[in-house]
A and B are shown apart, each in its own frame.
Chain A
């Protein structure tokens, strides 16, 4: 469970100051699949960066499973993120000099998993996203969808308490986007808490709950009682 309390981020714009996050309070239950939507510039990414501690520079508090995690020192924060949080960027954010499996194995090694075991787990994570045949590929030899799947494998590999994804499908065509969503849905069925930022209504409608943002504030927060299923079928027909 993640508890976001009065999250405010103020930035300078020229001479004046601007609140790009304005007292955002939000609770995400364990096992929930939540999507955040809103216009460009609404503050979705900013919220995700703060909640996932990628950007520690904000006011307000973040609690995860009842533990206050905002305000940790750099070293502790990096360690906390390593062991508890997964983050997926729109641009995949893979290390170009490392193969798929090396990208995924790195956090395992950092957690102190012995090399052989770490590689086994990394390969397992890659096969979960259907990439077992391309583990030795460098990112530059993978398609966008495949790269994003490597990034997902890397993010979920440590069984994070929460998986954050910031428009993970924005660079992909609709079929690839759908395949990524199917991976998320499967993960969620197995209990993974997911916070997804998207501006595609179709995708948001596949999740349990949609939070809409505007001007750094939460505009609406509604539960989806019957999420769309099997949306990809129509793409596959094409």
Chain B
């Protein structure tokens, strides 16, 4: 009995779908597709803006785990054993040890500067790295936009962050950036006593502040310049296998570091600022998504209502020839389901075939991030499921309203 009801309802729904004007069908599916994309893409872009910034932070700077000096101390205390230990933990793919000092650099070193003329200068972080190992962790060399990356043991050479150069920051305040410095130029790094001239090998461009205001030089060269100990770095960035879990690796690093270093996951190291923005944007995305869902439900309701309204007479005829309400309702549910399922399928195709690849290849250029489209398969499926539920709910209501009316009045068009 119940099975028969469902069977006939399906059949009736399929018959009607089959014979509905193709353009009407396409139009409804098109509306469904847009609705679905609206649901996924709008919040996806919003969250993607922050996500993009967080992603680049991790990719270009912190990597999966970042070990720093504990608060109020100058160095990590036993860098050697921590990095040695990190390299042998299963799942760890690359480790880069960084040494950092604050510094001031000057341009225009070729000119003879008159005694009381003010020399243009800018503050920067001077970072000593093993270029190859750093590249293994953050792919720093890929961020080069001018000149080239440097190799191990290239003394007196530097790779400079674009944030220090005026041509990349047209709106920067005087004194924050150096003018006319590019690959091949020389800059002067002021030291406690005296100075040293560095040749710019390349410029790295990044939207991550921790990268674009740094000047990278060779580690041995750095240790020599600042008379620092090899055993006392400031940062150890660790990239792990995507399959490996961060938690246990972080734990074993913590136990080896003790109180001599602060071990954080890439996410933790971002601090609460980005996380708060991300939460806010998530919330905003949720609200906008909710509104989109409401609008889509109403759209679907109207589409199905009009669909059922134009068929009022036929619903009456169906009842008159002995078809039960339940069968009629199922037939309209089948149609609603078809429209939303095909619409979602088309939407998924457009999303993963067109929009997502497009945004991946052309991130939205925001000052603080390259906005990507944050869509996850589970999030997308969840939205698809929600949309289908909304469609069914929006589909059942108008049919229920009509089917309850007096059969004869429906047939004769009396209401």
Contacts of A81 in B (CB 8 A): 320, 322
Cβ-Cβ contact count across A and B, 8 Å cutoff: 69
Kindly identify, within residues 93 to 144 of chain A, every residue whose CB is under 8 Å from any CB belonging to chain B: 93-98, 102, 106-107, 109-112, 138
Inter-chain CA distance A175–B20, complex, in Å, is 34
Do residues A107 and B322 form an inter-chain contact, with CB atoms below 8 A? yes
Distance in angstroms from B139 CB to nearest chain A CB is: 60
Contacts of A154 in B (CB 8 A): 321
- Among B8, B314, B407, the residue within 8 A (CB) of A109 is B8
Do residues B19 and A138 form an inter-chain contact, with CB atoms below 8 A? yes
Mask of A53-92 contacts with B, CB within 8 angstroms, 1/0 = 0110100000000000000001100110111000101000
Kindly identify, within residues 317 to 332 of chain B, every residue whose CB is under 8 Å from any CB belonging to chain A: 317-325, 327
Asked if A102 meets B15 with Cβ closer than 8 Å, knowing A78-B319, A82-B322, the reply is: yes
Distance in angstroms from A50 CB to nearest chain B CB is: 10
Do residues A54 and B4 form an inter-chain contact, with CB atoms below 8 A? no
Do residues B323 and A78 form an inter-chain contact, with CB atoms below 8 A? yes
Distance in angstroms from B13 CB to nearest chain A CB is: 11
- For chain B, the count of residues having a C-beta within 8 Å of the partner chain is 26
Inter-chain CA distance A96–B7, complex, in Å, is 21
Inter-chain CA distance A110–B322, complex, in Å, is 7
Asked if A79 meets B411 with Cβ closer than 8 Å, knowing A102-B15, A109-B8, the reply is: no
Mask of B1-19 contacts with A, CB within 8 angstroms, 1/0 = 1001001100110011011
Inter-chain CA distance A82–B407, complex, in Å, is 14
Do residues A49 and B321 form an inter-chain contact, with CB atoms below 8 A? no
Do residues A110 and B8 form an inter-chain contact, with CB atoms below 8 A? yes
Inter-chain CA distance A89–B321, complex, in Å, is 11
Do residues B320 and A55 form an inter-chain contact, with CB atoms below 8 A? no
Contacts of A89 in B (CB 8 A): 411
Asked if A93 meets B317 with Cβ closer than 8 Å, knowing A106-B323, A110-B322, the reply is: yes
Do residues A54 and B15 form an inter-chain contact, with CB atoms below 8 A? no
Contacts of A83 in B (CB 8 A): 322
- Among A54, A74, A79, A95, the residue within 8 A (CB) of B408 is A54
Asked if A54 meets B314 with Cβ closer than 8 Å, knowing A87-B320, A110-B322, the reply is: no
Chain A interface (Cβ < 8 Å from any Cβ of B):
49, 54-55, 57, 74-75, 78-79, 81-83, 87, 89, 93-98, 102, 106-107, 109-112, 138, 154
Apart from A75-B325, A79-B324, A110-B324, what 20 extra A-B contacts exist at CB < 8 Å?
Answer: A49-B408, A54-B411, A55-B406, A57-B406, A78-B324, A79-B322, A82-B321, A87-B320, A87-B321, A93-B317, A93-B320, A95-B314, A96-B19, A98-B15, A102-B15, A106-B8, A106-B12, A110-B323, A112-B4, A154-B321
Chain B interface (Cβ < 8 Å from any Cβ of A):
1, 4, 7-8, 11-12, 15-16, 18-20, 314, 317-325, 327, 406-408, 411
5 A-B pairs in the complex with CB atoms less than 8 angstroms apart: A49-B408, A54-B320, A82-B321, A98-B15, A106-B323
Give 7 nearest A-B pairs by CB, closest first. A82-B322, A97-B19, A55-B408, A93-B317, A54-B408, A97-B16, A109-B8
